[in-house]
Amino acid sequence: MTSDWWRTAAIYQIYPRSFADANGDGMGDLAGITSRLDDLQELGIDAIWLSPFFTSPQRDAGYDVADYCDVDPRFGALADFDAMLAEAHARGIRVIIDLVPNHSSDEHEWFQAALAAGPGSAERARYLFRDGRGPAGDEPPNNWESVFGGPAWTRVAEADGTPGQWYLHLFDSSQPDFDWTNDEVREEFRDILRFWLDRGVDGFRVDVAHGMIKADGLPDYTPPADGGSMGGGAAVTAGVPLEPEISSEPGDLAPYWGQDGVHDIYRDWRKLLDEYPGERILAAEAWVDPLPRVANWVRPDEMHQAFNFAYLETPWDAAALRHVIDASLDAFGSVGAPSTWVLSNHDVVRHATRLSVTEANPQGHGLGSRSKGLPEYEAGLRRARAATALMLALPGSAYLYQGEELGLPEVIDLPDDAREDPTWFRTNGERYGRDGCRVPIPWEADAPSYGFGPSEASWLPQPAQWRELARDRQRGTDGSTLELYRSLLRLRREHDLGSGAVEWLPGFRDDVLALRNGDVIAVANTGASPVELPSGDVLLASEALTGRTLPGDTTAWLRA
Ligand code: NOJ
C-alpha cells in the first residue's frame, strides 16, 4: 500500500440508507454495501466513506447517535461491519467512517442520565444545560438559532414535572450538543476512536468539526442573513457567480463555529491516530470561510483533509472556478496539506441539478415542486459531467457521492409526507431540506426498487426516471455517465493527476479554463459557444466531439 494514500485518493461517499438494501426492508444496510463492493472496485475508487450506521433513532438520518460503538439493527450488526471492512480491504478499498462528536442523540444513555440527574449534576455537565433567561427562566439562555430552523435551545421538565433548564442543540432538538470543555467527553471520544481503529477502519470523517467548542459565556449572536445552513459565511447562490472577493476576507465567526479550542481536540486525536499503523486519517467537515481559515484544520499536527466546500459552492463559471482552484491550492498548500475537491454530498442539491439552477437556492434549503429556475435534465447533466471532468483533473483528493456516477439529478417531486429531513419539519415545510439527494439509487433497470433491494420497498420513493439511469443500463454503454466516470478515474490514476500541480494555459476565452497537470491538459468550456482545442491527442471528453471543436458545457482531456 502506498504511503500518503489520502493525498491523492478518490473517495466515494456511501449513504448507507440509500445505497443497497440486502434484506428488503426499504432501508440500505451493511450487507448491501458488501454485496456491491465489486461495482465500486470496477468504478475505480480508492476508498469509501460511510455516513453513520450507528445505533440511532434516526431523527437526523443517523447523525443522532445513541450508541457510538454499535451498529443500528436497521443496518445490521457489528459482524456485518467487520465482514464489509474485510471485503473492502480485500479489494484494496479503504474505509472511512463518520464520527459525530458535536452532539449525541437525546436517546444516548448520557443524555437520559442528564435528564434524570437534574441541575448541577456531573451528568448534566457533559452537555450544555443552562438556566433560562427572564424572571421565570422561560426564555432561552441566548438567541442562537438551530441550523435546521427554530431556536437552538429546548427546555426540559425536571423530575418533579416543573419546567426546568434548557439544553443547547445547534441542530435538531433530538441532537443535544456535548460540552467539549468536559474531560469526560474527551476521554469518551478517545475510547470511541480506539474502538473503531482497533476494528481496522482507515479513518474518520468528522461531522461538524468546526462546532464543538462554543465561545465562553455563550454570547448572543445574529448570523448574516445569507449564511450557509451548516455554518460559514458566504451565500451559496447556485447559478449566480460568486464575486471572488466575497470569499477571501475572513468575516466574524459565530460564537459556535471555528473557535480556537477545537484545534486542541484534533491535535490530541492526531497523536492517537498516529499510534496506529497504515496512515489512518481524519477528514474535517468544517463549513467555515474563507479557505485560509479552513486550512487551520489540516495543519501538520491536526487533521489530514478538510472538505473544500468553497469549491462545491462555486458556480459553473470560469473566473470563479479559477479563483477557487488557486485559492484552494494556495491555502491547503501553505500548510503542506493536499486540497480536496467535492461537488455533491448528502447535504446539498445534487450537482447534476444544482450547477444549472437559475434562481438562488441557499444550501440546505433544497428543491421541490415550488422551486423556480430548475434546469432540464439533459442540460443539467451535461454541465455536471463537464464539472466532474474538470474536478478530476485537479491535484489532491476528490470526493464523489453515490449516484453521481449515474448522473442522478436531485429528486424534486418527493411527496410531502415522504420527507424525513428535520429541516422540513422545523421550518413547517418552508425549506424542502436534503431528502432530494438521498433517494435510494438504481442498480438494475428491470428489478424491483431498480435493484436497490430485493423488494419494492424504498424509504424514499424512487422516480420512474431511475429506470433509464440504472447502473446495468449504463455499464458498457458508450457515452454513459458511468463509463465517463470510470474513464476519468482510470486516467486520473494512470497519469498521476492526484499528485500533480496546476499550470494555467494562456490564450483562451474568458469563459474557458485550460490547465496542465503533468502530461494532461484539461480544457473546460463553461460558456455556450464552441472553442477550438489546442494540439494534443484527445484522451476523453465529457460529450462527444466533432473534430477538434469543444462545445459549450464540455470538458476535454488531452495528452500534453
Ligand atoms: C453535517 C451532516 O453532514 C448532516 O447531514 C447533519 O445533519 C449535520 N452535520 C448534523 O450532524
Check whether 244 has a pLDDT greater than 60: no
Residue nearest to atom 10 of ligand 1 (CA): 63
Mutate to test the pocket of ligand 1, among 100, 171, 288, 438 (most ligand atoms within 8 A of CB): 171
What's the pLDDT at 251?
74
What's the pLDDT at 238?
32
pLDDT, tens only, 386-421? 999 999 999 999 999 999 999 999 999 999 999 999
Ligand 1 centroid – CA 49 distance (Å): 14
Taking residues 85-97, report their average pLDDT.
98
- The x, y and z cell numbers of residue 384, run together, are 455536471
pLDDT bin (cut points 50, 70, 90) of residue 246 is very low
Check whether 44 has a pLDDT greater than 80: yes
Taking residues 39-55, report their average pLDDT.
98
The CATH number of domain 502-559, selected from 3.30.70.1280, 3.50.50.60, 3.30.1360.200, 2.60.40.1180: 2.60.40.1180
Check whether 2 has a pLDDT greater than 80: no
Ligand 1 centroid – CA 63 distance (Å): 6
* 3-state DSSP of 87-137: HHHHCCCEEEEEECCCECCCCCHHHHHHHHHCCCCCCHHHECEECCECCCC
C-beta 485 within 6 A of ligand 1: no
Mutate to test the pocket of ligand 1, among 50, 100, 347, 349 (most ligand atoms within 8 A of CB): 347
Check whether 232 has a pLDDT greater than 90: no
Distance, CA of 163 to CA of 165 (rounded, Å):
7
pLDDT, tens only, 137-147? 999 999 999 99
pLDDT, tens only, 486-506? 999 999 999 999 999 999 999
What's the pLDDT at 185?
98
Check whether 513 has a pLDDT greater than 90: yes
- Exposure of 144 in the CB half-sphere (CA atoms within 13 A): 26
What's the pLDDT at 226?
62
Check whether 263 has a pLDDT greater than 90: yes
Check whether 49 has a pLDDT greater than 90: yes
What's the pLDDT at 331?
98
C-beta 502 within 6 A of ligand 1: no
Cell 438494475, residue? 444
C-beta 347 within 6 A of ligand 1: yes
Ligand 1 centroid – CA 62 distance (Å): 9
| Alpha carbon 154 to its chain's center | 27
| Alpha carbon 429 to its chain's center | 23
C-beta 63 within 6 A of ligand 1: yes
Distance, CA of 9 to CA of 558 (rounded, Å):
22
String of DSSP letters for 249-293: S--PPPTTSS-TTHHHHHHHHHHHHHTSSS--EEEE----SSHHH
What's the pLDDT at 241?
34
As annotated, the active-site residues are: 207, 275
Residues of the chain with CATH 2.60.40.1180: 502-559
Closest CA to 432 of 444, 442, 420, 449: 420
C-beta 404 within 6 A of ligand 1: no
The least confident of 188-197, 230-239, 272-281 is: 230-239
Ligand 1 centroid – CA 167 distance (Å): 19
Residues of the chain with CATH 3.90.400.10: 109-168
pLDDT, tens only, 307-352? 999 999 999 999 999 999 999 999 999 999 999 999 999 999 999 9
Closest CA to 355 of 465, 216, 242, 193: 242
**98 DSSP β-pair partners:** 205
Element (H, E) at 399: strand 397-401
- The x, y and z cell numbers of residue 175, run together, are 441532537
Handedness of CA 533, 524, 526, 332 (dihedral sign): negative
pLDDT bin (cut points 50, 70, 90) of residue 230 is low
C-beta of residue 444 within 8 angstroms of C-beta of residue 451: yes
Query: Where does 5-102+182-488 sit in CATH, by number?
Result: 3.20.20.80
Q: Is 501 left (phi over 0), alpha (psi -120 to 50) or beta?
A: beta
Average pLDDT of the chain?
A: 95
* For the chain, percent of residues with pLDDT exceeding 70: 95
Check whether 223 has a pLDDT greater than 90: no
Check whether 247 has a pLDDT greater than 80: no
Check whether 512 has a pLDDT greater than 60: yes
Distance, CA of 133 to CA of 173 (rounded, Å):
19
Q: Which atom of ligand 1 is nearest to the CA of 51?
A: 3
Cell 492517537, residue? 272
Residue-wise burial string across 114-123, b where 16 or more C-beta atoms lie within 10 A, e elsewhere:
bbeebeeeeb
C-beta 177 within 6 A of ligand 1: no
Check whether 235 has a pLDDT greater than 80: no
C-beta 148 within 6 A of ligand 1: no
Element (H, E) at 558: strand 554-559
**231 or 403, which is more confident?**
403
What's the pLDDT at 509?
97
* For the chain, percent of residues with pLDDT exceeding 90: 94
Handedness of CA 552, 553, 557, 560 (dihedral sign): positive
- Angle (CA) 82-84-87 rounded to 5° is 105
C-beta of residue 414 within 8 angstroms of C-beta of residue 368: yes
pLDDT bin (cut points 50, 70, 90) of residue 236 is very low
pTM of the model as a whole? 0.96
At the topology level, CATH places domain 109-168 in: Oligo-1,6-glucosidase; domain 2 (3.90.400)
- The x, y and z cell numbers of residue 234, run together, are 458566504
What's the pLDDT at 1?
47
Helix (H, G, I), strand (E, B) or coil at 426: helix
